[in-house]
Amino acid sequence: MLRMLEVVGTSPLGFSEAVRSAVEEIVGSGHKAHFFQVVEQRGSVREGRIKEYQVVLKVAVESKDQTA
């Protein structure tokens, strides 16, 4: 059974790197990810320049509780 985790990824390089960062963090924490959906893209601007790209993802991971 899969469950959805909602996470935020960030990167100073771009949206793709922000997605990669978020997925790598989920996998690195021991979850087995199957797919993701980008829910939102946004960024921050400081002193007239893009400082950070941000994405909100829903990531499908295997549920550790298989009794459900």
Task: Record the pTM.
Answer: 0.85
| Helix (H) / strand (E) containing 55 | strand 49-62
For residue 33, what are the contacts with CB-CB under 8 A and spacing of at least 6?
Answer: 23, 26, 27, 59, 60, 61
Please check the confidence at residue 68 and state whether its pLDDT lies above 90.
no
Mean pLDDT calculated for residue range 31-54: 97
Q: Is the pLDDT of residue 22 over 70?
A: yes
Q: In this structure, are residues 44 and 34 in contact, taking their beta carbons and an 8 Å threshold?
A: no
Do residues 29 and 64 touch, judged by C-beta distance below 8 A? no
Which CATH number, 3.40.50.970, 3.30.1660.10, 3.40.710.10, 3.40.50.720, labels domain 2-62?
3.30.1660.10
What mean pLDDT value characterizes the chain? 94
Q: Are 38 and 54 in contact (CB under 8 A)?
A: no
H/E stretch holding 29: none
